[in-house]
A and B are shown apart, each in its own frame.
Chain A
Amino acid sequence: MLEVDAIHAAYGQVKVLFGLSITVRPGEIHCLLGRNGAGKTTTVKSIMGLVPLLSGTVTMDGEHLSELEPYEIPGRRVGLIPQGRRLFAELTVEENLEIGLLVRNTGDAAKERVLDMFPRLRERLQQPAATLSGGEQQMLAVARALCIEPKVLLLDEPTEGLQPSMIELIRSALKRLRDEGVAILLVEQRIDAVLSVADRVSFIENGRNVETLPAEEAVRDRGKLAKYLGV
């Protein structure tokens, strides 16, 4: 279980998060929804230790992630699929996966599992990541994170700019991981992007988690959608 408790975070002098709290349970897909600039990416980066906290804590199964060195956090089985994919562009597909495998020395078994999940990557192992199509790059971003064999998976707008077929592929992968007990935090800007997979939804506005509710309720509540997302 990932527990983000009342975190405040800032870039230099600019405060972005104001006491944000969110809990992601094992075996659930928890969606963090909010407008552009609401602080979603900052939340994800704070969990990874990439943005320092001013106050508040991030714990996973009782361990304080926020007291670790940032580079130690992925080793606790936290996998990140960052906004914009952020692959190591000049490294090959295989080398990108290798980076993920080295985090916990998960080795060939993890690699095979991930490549079985995304067979198209297997055909392109020696290709530089930058030469993949957009959809393949997103597969690689997911695959790289799965090489860690994460207990917590953070996805920051993974469907941005993808074709519907690719979005479907990512969704079905997420459902599978959820059923295996992974705690998934899925960040999106639009409700329709998460409709079919979300278990719970949190709305974020100006760096605060304003509301968390079951996905069915969120979908039905036009008023809230209009208020928090502008749809």
Chain B
Amino acid sequence: MDFGPHLFLATLEGAITAAVISLTAAGLSIVFGIMRVVNVAHGEFFMLGAVGAWWVTTAVGGHPAFGFAAALIAAPLFVGAIAALADRLVLFRLGYDPERTIVATIGILYVIQQVTLMTFGPDARPVEPPFNKRIPIPWLGIGENGLELTWPWGLATTTYKLAVIVAAAVILFGVWQFLSRTRFGLLMRATQLDREMATAFGIPVRKIYARVFGFGAAIAALGAVLIVPVQQAHYLMGTDPLLLSFIVVIIGGLGSLPGTIVAAVLIGMSDGIISVFFSPTLAKILATLLVAFVLVFRPQGLFGKAQA
């Protein structure tokens, strides 16, 4: 009788991981898809989003919802601006060379991490959720009166955790609409398909790149703001999302947004479930093995195109 509720809880935790990872992976995937830059510093932009949320919520008083709402807007903007600056100062100067940008983003990773350590400090700091009602998890079982709801083991989730899942879905839908419906999205897609022809048709590729890099970082930061009330802000918190994002992007197919989302759900769910029943380490081992299999048998990813 206790396996069911635990599975349900694990699935829910997995869905939260999936929600956040699909956001960070979408950012990574968009940046790679359009700029061909493998951004190793992506996890640090995520971390900066969480740290930014802590600063903002601490600065804004009153009900936690005010600070949180301010953080939702300010942190991604701030992180996006830093990323755009990094693009201008570093990636642009390297001519977006695929190999040199990998090394450069490793450098950016350490700069961001150490500056955060020097300013924010080594401690994990909590951010209060804007709302947080406990919801006990019911279980449908056969009781004395036939089918009935029970609340075994006192397992519970919160309204906030459910809201994270919904918010991530809404944001992803928004990103997709932005890419497919807006003028800027069109220019981004054209740049992705043929950088030289984009230039020949008046698209300022340099500006597009700076904005794409900022945009990718801002999505990761948004994911971090959503998760920080559950997880706490810490200067090393970018490592796991980076690893999981890479796993997701490789499995889903580099540059494929739908593939990224499907893979995020797959990896997030299995990460949540395996972590609850076995251990988080086993979850990472299995995910990494899956990446190895995908790289061997379907290097373009599940949804990627063969030569792209």
Contact = CB atoms under 8 A, between A and B. Distances in A.
Contact of B200 (A74, A89, A90): A74
Contacts of B197: 82, 86, 88
A75 B202 contact: yes
Contacts of A98: 186
B196 interface: yes
Contacts of B177: none
Given A71-B203, A75-B202, A102-B186, 8 more contacts: A48-B199, A49-B199, A70-B199, A70-B200, A74-B202, A89-B193, A99-B203, A102-B202
Q: How large is the interface on A (under 10, 10 to 19, 20 to 34, 35 or more residues)?
A: 20 to 34
Kindly name the residue among B187, B189, B197, B205 whose own CB sees the greatest number of chain A CB atoms within 10 A: B197
A50 B193 contact: no
Contact of B194 (A72, A80, A86): A86
Interface in A88-120: 88-91, 95, 98-100, 102-104
A73 B203 CA distance: 10
Contact of A82 (B193, B200, B205): B200
A8 interface: no
B69 interface: no
B186 A74 contact: no
B190 A48 contact: no
Given A95-B186, A98-B186, A102-B187, A72 B202 contact: yes
22 contacts: A48-B200, A49-B199, A50-B200, A70-B200, A71-B199, A71-B205, A73-B200, A74-B201, A74-B202, A80-B200, A82-B200, A86-B194, A86-B197, A88-B189, A91-B186, A99-B187, A99-B198, A99-B201, A100-B201, A102-B186, A102-B201, A102-B202
Interface residues of B, number: 17
Contacts of B183: 102
Interface string A72-85: 11110000101000
Contacts of B202: 71-75, 102-104
Contacts of B199: 48-50, 70-71
B95 to A, nearest CB: 12
Interface of A: 48-50, 69-75, 80, 82, 86, 88-91, 95, 98-100, 102-104, 144, 148
A213 B153 CA distance: 93
Nearest to B201: A99
A90 B193 contact: yes
The 10 A-B residue pairs with the shortest CB-CB distance in the complex, in nearest-first order: A103-B202, A74-B202, A88-B193, A71-B204, A86-B197, A80-B200, A70-B199, A88-B190, A71-B199, A99-B201
A102 B185 CA distance: 13
Given A50-B196, A102-B183, A90 B189 contact: yes
